[in-house]
Amino acid sequence: MTQTNPAPTSSLPSNGQASAHQAAQVIWAHWQSGQVLAALPEGCHPMSAAQGYAAQAQLPMVSGRLVVGWKIAATSTNGQAHINVSSPLVGRLLSGQVFESGATVPSAGNRMRVAEPEFAFAMAQDLPPQAAPYSQQQVMAAVASLHPALEVPDSRLEPFTSAGEAQLLADNACARHYVLGPAAPDVWRDLDLSTYPVHARVQHGSQLKYTRDGTGGNVLGDPRIALTWLANQLSSLGITLEKGHVVITGTCMVPLELQPGDSASADFGPLGRVEMIFSAT
């Protein structure tokens, strides 16, 4: 997948951009140490969505990681209510966060302890910023493949449910790890993803703990709608959705509660299956 290099530090202007850079440094330092914070310091505390996105945009630079894709958080009214926001949030997927199906995903330091079954799209061509909104037809024509995925989110803000939109955006919309399954057969293009069922299981060893079901309709009504929203949100921010980037579109069911040592799987029927182990330590 395409990897976007962080912007050079020398390109940073002063004032607002410097404050955004400081916020990103604080967030990343807490990610590295495993510590949490109640709020970003006053000198770099974002007060608007624009300031939150500006801070998030500095994360690749301060982390030395590459942008390999995007996530959408809060793509259901229940999800928005849970974190007290009124619309979906965009986060960057950074190199070092992605796992293949069947992998063991770190549990250390993860306080959310959930996995979220999601429809993921890999892009076949760039969608650069433009004045007019992209149509769903234009966006889907730019997609290379669909993949079943599991996201394992987390936040450095405590409590993240009352941190507010601006700080959650600075915290990269709670992006941490994700597991990408194999590309689905191309028949997905002819299916109604708004009603498409997904079945999930959580086990501990050979013991089944519970199952859960969801549909693509829980993702802004349809994962295709969510992807189109993401493309237009990036366009409004002056950002290209790049060829090779992966977009995970939001959970299609109530997140799966996990404990260390659990395994989780999501069965997308003819479109494939994705699974992971939440590390025991």
Residue 260 has pLDDT above 70, yes or no: yes
Consecutive H or E run containing 50: helix 49-57
Looking at the predicted structure, is the pLDDT value of residue 123 above 60?
yes
Q: Which domain holds residue 76?
A: 66-278
24 is a domain residue: no
Residue 4 has pLDDT above 70, yes or no: no
The tally of domains found in the chain comes to 1
Mean pLDDT of the chain: 94
Inform me whether the pLDDT recorded for 50 exceeds 50. yes
Q: Helix (H, G, I), strand (E, B), or coil: what is residue 201?
A: strand
The yes-or-no verdict on residue 7 having pLDDT over 80 is: no
Q: Is the pLDDT of residue 39 over 90?
A: yes
Average pLDDT of span 232-246 = 98
Q: What is the pLDDT of residue 15?
A: 64
Q: Per-residue pLDDT tens for 60-101?
A: 999 999 999 999 999 988 889 889 898 999 999 999 999 999
Residue 16 has pLDDT above 90, yes or no: no
| DSSP single-letter state for residue 132 | S
| Interatomic CA distance for residues 227 and 231, integer angstroms | 6
pLDDT of 44 > 70? The answer is yes
Answer yes or no: is 185 within a domain.
yes
**CATH number of the domain residue 244 falls in:** 3.90.850.10
Can you read off the two tokens belonging to residue 68? 């390999």
User: Confidence class of residue 114 from pLDDT cuts 50, 70 and 90?
Assistant: very high
Residue 12 within a domain: no
pLDDT at 104 over 70: yes
How far is it, in rounded angstroms, from Cα 58 to Cα 65? 11
Residue 45 inside a domain? The answer is no
Percentage of the chain modeled with pLDDT above 70 = 95
Residues 6+ apart with CB under 8 A from 161: 82, 83, 84
More confident residue, 128 or 81: 128
Is 99 inside any structural domain? yes
Peptide bond into 159 cis (omega under 30): yes
Domain annotation covers residue 16 = no
The pLDDT score that the predictor gives to residue 72 is 98
Q: What gap in Å lies between CA 179 and CA 98, rounded to an integer?
A: 6
Q: How confident is the model at residue 9 (pLDDT cuts 50, 70, 90)?
A: very low
Buried-exposed string 184-201: b where 16+ CB fall within 10 A, e elsewhere: beeebeeeebbebebbbb
List pLDDT tens digits, range 134-178: 999 999 999 999 999 999 999 999 999 989 999 999 999 999 999
User: Does residue 148 lie in a domain region?
Assistant: yes
Is residue 17 in some structural domain?
no
Q: Rounded distance, CA 2 to CA 77, Å?
A: 32
Provide the pLDDT confidence category of residue 58 given band limits of 50, 70 and 90: very high
- Compute the distance between CA of residue 187 and CA of residue 268 in angstroms, rounded to an integer: 13
**Positive/negative CA dihedral, 45, 175, 87, 38:** negative
DSSP 103: P
